[in-house]
Amino acid sequence: MKKIRYLALAAALAGFSGCGNGEQKPPAGTGGTTTTGGVTEGTGGASATGGVSTTGGSPATGGSPATGGSPATGASPETGGSPATGGSPETGGSPETGGSPATGGSPATGGSPATGGSTPVGGTTSNGGSTSNGGSTPTGGSISNGGTTRTGGAISNGGSTSNGGSTSNGGSTRTGGSTPTGGSISNGGTTRTGGATSTGGTTSNGGTTSSAGAGGSTSTGPCSVLPVSPNATAQAKNLLCYLYNISGNHVLSGQQETSWAANPLDDITWYTSNGMKEPAILGGDFLYPAGGGATSTISGITRAIAYWNGGGVSMFRYHMGMPVAGSTIANDSYNGTNGAMSTPPAGLLDAAVTAGTGENTAFNSRLNYIAYQVGVMKAANVPIILALLHEAQPNGWFWWSKGTGAQYVALWKYAFNYLTATKGATNIIWLMPFSSQNGVTASAAPYYPGKDTVDVTGPDYTGTAANYTKFRGIAGATIPLALHESDSVTPDSWFPTSSPWVLWNIWAGYEQSRLAVLQTAYASTYTITRDKVPNLK
């Protein structure tokens, strides 16, 4: 919807305002509770194996029902986390996603018929290789696939006597699936940690981007791309590689939480209540410090960590208050005095990035707040997609894009250098968020900071081929393009070549009036939901 429409209705709506295209105004609220629903321990499962590289399966069994992820260990409501803590079927992973007794690891991780494990599982006590011999002729590997009748596979390819599969292909201690990788109490248990045949890959190929179920991959694949953050964390590297690997062939589903509501996760449970799976991405907003503050963890970060531990990805933006001298995050608002939508007085944009000014001190105070919250995530080994200074455009909606393109770029680069070099925030994937509105076809380019400080970029709302082509022309041929804020989405019309966005993010509350559209979008084979995100840990 056009922002002009918002401007015309603003006075009548009173309690609402537009963020780029008629978002609901986010009023003050608690932002939810501070329960986490998952601790940071546990690994979930390596990207290509369904089991973490250090655990996999017990040496004696190659992944028994008790270690590959049974309903009792693969994230049932009793063990994966209660509904209130982010490990229920809605948030932590259901028995189907942690690994049922029949799965415990996809054929790609426990060993397919061709590699020293039975088709259905990856090694149960009875068919993935017995404790004593690593697999009989029918199960641990036939004579034709690298295993003798007596051992189920030679050490080199079918599985040694002790583990039913070698490191390379049969399913060793690393890939059989132990309690921590099939879905333990500590990680909620998701498809990416146990892996069912339908989501981890087919029996015949182990799971690739093109064939690992309807829109998912069990591996991030080879990647030479590094995040622009210096010394990026392993999780940030894995996440960026994953975005590059799916770019052009799949799209991550996303939902912005209503951070100001009593229960922000209602936006997520709405999907499961209407027959869909949970979005891959949970969107948050630093404007709402419920439960914390400048130097204490806000509830939105607690939810973000729990969502990651349950298999999802976190993305944040910030309706940052205008950094007038003497102000802090306590003065932030959406459209109040010196709020995000305020028009900066002459000189403020330049002063905000000039050391020694009151405006610079105020800007730094907001960046310090971000750095603290991102630091909490870093300590928990959680990366974050940061869509800072969003909806950039000439004569923009927010104070940061009401100047020239050069002034916006200066703000962006200052924030980038401050957060990475000064504050050591190395777990950020930097998403530079354009607006689609106000005829930015030719004039958007001056607002682009350049690929040296941008990992992902893209506009909001308009998912058309023309819009995709426009921003592809600005950002270049290789960088993933995201629809970072959206309303209606139609992935079947986007792919394979029209406008293959790498992610979408439905704005808070918009899902409520788009049931049929979203059910169709979530049924698309191009759409990746949370259960299909591979292990990025």
Tell me the C-alpha distance between 331 and 371, whole Å: 18
Number of Cβ within 10 Å of residue 133's Cβ equals 18
In this structure, which topology does domain 231-532 adopt according to CATH?
TIM Barrel (3.20.20)
Q: What is the mean pLDDT of residues 45-54?
A: 31
Q: Which residue has the tokens 């290509």?
A: 48
Closest by CA to 366, choosing from 338, 393, 391, 336, is 338
Closest by CA to 218, choosing from 528, 502, 525, 533, is 533
Higher pLDDT, 383 or 52: 383
Q: What is the mean pLDDT of residues 381-392?
A: 97
Report the pLDDT value the prediction gives residue 221, as an integer from 0 to 100. Answer: 63
Pairing relationship of beta strands 281-285 and 456-458 according to DSSP bridges: unpaired
Contact (CB, 8 A) for 333 and 339: yes
Report the pLDDT value the prediction gives residue 441, as an integer from 0 to 100. Answer: 54
Q: What order do you get walking across the sheet with 384-386 strand by strand?
A: 456-458, 428-433, 384-386, 313-317, 281-285, 254-256, 504-506, 483-486
Beta strands in 198-271 (DSSP E): 251-252, 254-256
pLDDT tens per residue, range 324-364: 999 999 999 999 999 999 999 999 999 999 999 999 999 99
pLDDT tens per residue, range 94-150: 323 333 333 333 333 333 333 333 333 333 333 333 333 333 333 333 323 333 333
The token pair that represents 326 in the structure block: 């003497």
Tell me the C-alpha distance between 38 and 312, whole Å: 12
pLDDT tens per residue, range 62-77: 333 323 333 333 333 2
Q: What angle do CA 21, 19, 383 make, to 5 degrees?
A: 115
**Structure pTM?**
0.65
Looking at the predicted structure, is the pLDDT value of residue 248 above 60?
yes
Tell me the C-alpha distance between 305 and 312, whole Å: 9
Higher pLDDT, 99 or 408: 408
Looking at the predicted structure, is the pLDDT value of residue 202 above 80?
no
Looking at the predicted structure, is the pLDDT value of residue 409 above 80?
yes
Report the pLDDT value the prediction gives residue 443, as an integer from 0 to 100. Answer: 79
- The SS3 of residue 484 is strand
Looking at the predicted structure, is the pLDDT value of residue 431 above 90?
yes
Looking at the predicted structure, is the pLDDT value of residue 151 above 60?
no
Categorize the per-residue pLDDT at 225 as very low, low, confident or very high, splitting at 50, 70 and 90.
very high
Please state, rounded to an integer, the average pLDDT across all residues of the chain: 70
Q: Which residue has the tokens 């099939």?
A: 182
Contact (CB, 8 A) for 386 and 418: no
Q: Start-end ranges of CATH 3.20.20.80 in the chain? A: 231-532
